[in-house]
Amino acid sequence: MIKQILYTILSLLLLSTSITASCSKSVDKPVIEEPKPDEPEVEEKLQIKDVAVPNTLYVSTDKEFSISGKGFKDGDKLEMQNMDSGEKTTFSANSTDEQNIAFIYKSDLEENRYTLSILRGEEKQRLGVTTVIQVQNLDIADQEGMNIKGMVHVSGKGLAGVVVSDGFEVTKTDENGIYYLPSEKKNRYVFISLPSNYEALTKDRMPIIHKNLNESTETVEIRDFELKESPNDDYVLLVMTDLHLANRNNDINQFQNGFVKDINQTISEYKSQGKKVYGLTLGDLSWDLYWYSNRFSLKEYVQAMQAVEVDVFNVIGNHDNDPYHADDFTSENAYRAHIGPTYYSFNLGQTHYVVLDDTEYLNKGGSSGMIGDRDYNAKITQQQLDWLEKDLATLENPNQPIVIAMHIQLNRNPSLNASGEQVISRRLSNSQDFLNVIEKYNNINILSGHTHTNHRTSEKNGALKEHNIAAVCATWWWTGKSDYANNHISRDGSPGGYSVWEYQGNQHSYYYKSIGYPKDYQFRAYDLNKTHITAEKYTPSASAANKKKFEDSYAHGYVNPSDKNEVLINIWGYEAGWNIQVVENGAILKTSRVHDYDPLHIISYNAKRLNNNAQAGFATSKTAHLFKVQASSPTSTLEITVTDLFGKQYKQTMERPKELTYQMQ
């Protein structure tokens, strides 16, 4: 009894620190070792001995499974308790003999770790722990050299041609939906490339397209995947990045009342039109620096995303690595445990999607209980490039639309040359190796995040485009924080938001959706005559040194008053092919593209931080999606029309003078 009391106390203490354990452990979740079933009053009554509980218990509906041991009796029941949820399921014995007890599996247990116990009347004896895996066909024959096998099926019927991988080797299911893989099991899972017009079962709003492995390389493991038919040539993909949920800056409230409310309205509108809707994140779902101090990591991110009413595919970002590890692979174990593979592929409609992990997490100084410097390389590992080549080789047509999703961008935020043309430079350290792998494919869109800004680049005559998307959190949730600007704005002046991709067959269009604004809100216009940003006006509480710092380093050219009648237009979704027309009194004004700073972000973040005598660590960054026109009068009304790549027009009547305010549009 004393031993049991001590165990209960120990269990409660361990559970109270579960977030630390779950983040710093490897793929398998921490297991609390329970006392062995050596309590005399139980052992003497049940007398079950020589029990052999397998590490993995394969079960199939309406099929018999058994456990070996001595001392089982007719009428015994088997209790399976889920080690995560605590939920219990009971099976009555189908038969017993001197060596075994057998049961008919009639349930739908979650694939997980379970504690097994025998119930006999009021008595109970614990047998051990196993991982329960449901399979469709227990009789798939082994093949020499293959240590993973299984079936991809729809309601029990095998599905041919589905791509299956362990992250190294790639294969396809045969005509019966059966696959085999030789694997070193390094990643500890196997996954499918979800085929078009099918959907996977889901858990926590994430498609179940991977299954964890728990045996050695010498043991053959069975992993099945169940799919359901779901035609999806006509669908919408919502692309969101850099949520940085960390339980700071009032971020959870802003996330729930801003982002979640907005995106659920978008989801509802599209679903009401009969469209399929899916979600895709692009990394930095959490913030490694605050995993332990704020008790908010990937587990809590998954919980928060339950409020978003759509299934979501995820990408790992540099801030989604465990800061207690100074190794790229082991730092990703928490991500694998709570979310899944760090790279994989899937298909929606006629488009093939590839998710890559382009962060090599170094984290010098990181160790158990110690956060390192959290540094990283922007790099796609060679093992991923080798896998990517094999994955793309499964495509039959090099012109098939391909979308590659990754966190860090391929290209840096562009600058402009003397002629006003975009200048592209690479961000990934091994960008050429990556480009060599995808070179022969002719219809690629890259989706990336990381910068918290918007920019678009196009190469190979439009065959390769990158869409770097601004952050859901905008400036790390700062400007919407209490006593700040009460707006939600990114470093380039883009509102916090997400990208919406509409697909019909092999045709698509896209736009950037600002949180809290209608979909047609695509630009903001400034009257530069009224954009005079001074320390006296915007940092009245700052120290003399910080006032000087603000005007010297953070207000940029706006510290000087202007009377040139210029108007600055920030078009956050701009890319080559868009058209801007500004009309004054019937005359079209000349438009010039400029590389400059957004005034609203300067006063919403830079000024607010320095006014509090704090560091402006996420200061306004230069952007090339700004345009200037010069009007003939300081009071004339301008008609601004912006036309995107798909012919959609966005208009604003700009009455001047127009004041610079925190809520301006």
CA distance 388 to 30: 32
CB-neighbour burial class of residue 418 (10 A; exposed 0-12, middle 13-18, buried 19+):
exposed
Per cent of the chain over pLDDT 90 is 91
pLDDT at 36: 39
Segments making up each domain of the chain, as ranges: 36-134, 231-514, 524-654
Mean pLDDT of 459-474: 96
Q: Per-residue pLDDT for 42 more than 80?
A: no
CB 281 within 8 A of CB 274: no
Q: Which two tokens stand for residue 575?
A: 């890319």
pLDDT at 574: 97
pLDDT band at 28 (very low <50, low <70, confident <90, very high): very low
Mean pLDDT of 463-490: 97
Q: Per-residue pLDDT for 43 more than 70?
A: no
Query: What's 36-134's CATH class?
Result: mainly beta
Each residue of 291-310: pLDDT tens digit? 999 999 999 999 999 999 99
- Give me the phi and psi of 14, to 5 degrees please: -65, -40
Each residue of 354-378: pLDDT tens digit? 999 999 999 999 999 999 999 999 9
Q: What is the DSSP letter of 589?
A: P
Mean pLDDT of 404-414: 96
One-letter amino acid for residue 168 of the chain: F
One-letter amino acid for residue 290 of the chain: Y
Q: Per-residue pLDDT for 18 more than 50?
A: no
Q: Per-residue pLDDT for 410 more than 50?
A: yes
Instruction: Please state which of the ranges 36-50, 78-92, 379-393 shows the lowest mean pLDDT.
Output: 36-50
- pTM for this predicted structure: 0.91
pLDDT at 46: 87
- Give me the phi and psi of 437, to 5 degrees please: -70, -35
Mean pLDDT of 190-195: 98
**What own/partner pairs with CB < 8 Å and gap ≥ 24 does 461-470 have?**
464/438, 466/409, 466/410, 466/411, 467/499, 467/510, 468/409, 468/411, 468/413, 469/239, 469/240, 469/241, 469/282, 469/498, 469/499, 469/512, 470/241, 470/494, 470/495, 470/496, 470/497, 470/512, 470/572
pLDDT band at 108 (very low <50, low <70, confident <90, very high): confident
pLDDT band at 420 (very low <50, low <70, confident <90, very high): confident
Each residue of 252-299: pLDDT tens digit? 999 999 999 999 999 999 999 999 999 999 999 999 999 999 999 999
pLDDT at 107: 87
Q: Per-residue pLDDT for 35 more than 70?
A: no
Q: Per-residue pLDDT for 203 more than 90?
A: yes
**Residue owning tokens 């710093």:** 24
Superfamily of domain 231-514: Metallo-dependent phosphatases (3.60.21.10)
Q: Which two tokens stand for residue 477?
A: 């949730």
The three-class DSSP label of residue 562 is coil
CA distance 352 to 401: 6
pLDDT band at 552 (very low <50, low <70, confident <90, very high): very high
Q: What is the mean pLDDT of the chain?
A: 93
∠ CA 567-625-476, nearest 5°, is: 105
Mean pLDDT of 134-149: 96
Q: Per-residue pLDDT for 10 more than 60?
A: no
Q: Per-residue pLDDT for 451 more than 80?
A: yes
Each residue of 479-535: pLDDT tens digit? 999 999 999 999 999 999 999 999 998 899 999 999 999 999 999 999 999 999 999
pLDDT at 174: 98
pLDDT at 75: 93
pLDDT at 26: 33
